[in-house]
Structure formats: C-alpha cells, structure tokens
Amino acid sequence: MRNAEAKTVSVLRTEHVIGTTIYMAPEVHQGESSTAQDIYALGVVILEVLTGLPVTNPRPGHRSLTLLADDFWDEKDKLKPLLDSAICWDDHVVETLTDIASPEACLHTRFKRRPKAADLLLKMEAVCSVIPIEVPIATRINPDFFCPITGEIMRDPVITTGGHSYERAAIEEWFAMHRSDPKTNMVLESRALMPNHTLRSAIEEACGQL
C-alpha cells in the first residue's frame, strides 16, 4: 500500500494462503508467494481446457489433473491422448497450449523459471486468432455417451451390476484390479457385464456409425 503524502510503501503479507489446493504452485506450500503462482494456476486451467477433465480425481488412480498429465509429458504425443474428444482440435492450437502449460513453462516447479504474463499474452492472442468463432463441441451430445473412465464417446458400452455404463475395454481393465464400481467406489457383488444395446443405438444414431 502506498502513502502518497508520506511517500512510503507498506507491504501486506499473509502466512496463510487461501485457495483451491490443486491450483496452488509448489512454492505456496513452502510459504513463498509471488505473482508467478498465478502463472502456475493458468497452466492448470489450460490442462482443464485441453482435456475437459476435472482437476481432482480426473481418472481412477489419479488424484489430480497435474499428476495425470505428468504421465504424458515425456511421451511423443504429449497430451494428445488426453485431449477432450468432444472438440475438433486444431493442431497448432493444441501444440501452443501444450507448450504454454508444460512443466517447462507455466507448470515449472521453480517460479523464477515460469514465463512472464506479457509473453504469455502474445502467445494466447496468437492462438485466439486461429480459433474459429464457433468450435464444434459436444454440447449437442448427451453426456451419458461418454465413458466415465476414458472420457471418450463409447463404442461398446456395457453395464455393470451397479447400473453404470462404461466402455467395455476400460471397465474390463478396471475389474482386473478392482471389485468396485469406478464411478461410485462401491464394492460390487459381481463383475458381470451386460451389453448396453439401447445406449449404443442412441450413440450411433446421434454420432453416426462408430
């Protein structure tokens, strides 16, 4: 706070940072505070935009979206396997946003190594210039068409004894290590699966032959 008459500057500092943990930069948990923590939060938001996944428990076995992304940063396609399948992505947009959010940029663990807001603004403006005004997204698609495990539109939906539908391959992989329903975490008496013909027909009618 600046006092114009006395020509002095006072700095207000708090030791108790309040906010959503997943968006907080690593240094915040160590008592450090800087504007660079906002850059880190931007990286998390970009991950949300690219994947369409929640920041907490995005997929079974991963408690946060950043930890899930950590499994893909070193891969050749990076975040492409995680991209929100409901959006027709432009390759340039994906590449630019991925680079901005990467552990070498916004999500860098060392706050002094994160990019400046002014530099990010130029990159974001460049991305916005190539994004169509109307992006074909799945707002017209029933959310029940998406597998809760993969986040993608189901091709072979099956129903568990818990009453929830999943992509067959995904739920079979889950059942190989668990006896619970991944959506509710409730233990199931049986891991039997039944084809969901009604849902499959609805998906094919809405989206074309899968």
**9-23, 113-127, 195-209: segment of lowest average pLDDT:** 9-23
Question: How do residues 200-210 score in pLDDT, each as one tens digit?
Answer: 988 888 765 44
Q: What is the pLDDT of residue 76?
A: 84
Q: What is the pLDDT of residue 156?
A: 92
* Matching CATH number, 141-207, of 3.40.50.1260, 3.30.930.10, 3.30.40.10, 3.30.830.10: 3.30.40.10
Mean pLDDT of 187-205: 90
Domain edges within the chain: 2-130, 141-207
Question: How do residues 131-177 score in pLDDT, each as one tens digit?
Answer: 655 545 444 578 888 898 888 888 899 999 989 999 999 999 999 99
User: Does the pLDDT value for residue 1 go beyond 50?
Assistant: no
Q: What is the pLDDT of residue 14?
A: 54
**Has this prediction a pTM greater than 0.75?**
no
SS3 string, the chain, reads CEECCCCEECCCCCCCCCCCHHHCCHHHHHCCCCCHHHHHHHHHHHHHHHHCCCCEEEECCEEEHHHHHHCCCCCCCCCHHHCCCCCCCCHHHHHHHHHHHCCCCCCCCCHHHCCCHHHHHHHHHHHHHHCCCCCCCHHHCCHHHECCCCCCECCCEEECCCCCEEEHHHHHHHHCCCCECCCCCCECCCCCCEECHHHHHHHHHHHCCC
Q: What is the pLDDT of residue 62?
A: 84
Question: How do residues 65-115 score in pLDDT, each as one tens digit?
Answer: 999 999 999 888 889 899 987 777 888 889 999 999 999 999 999 999 999
Name which CATH class applies to 2-130: mainly alpha
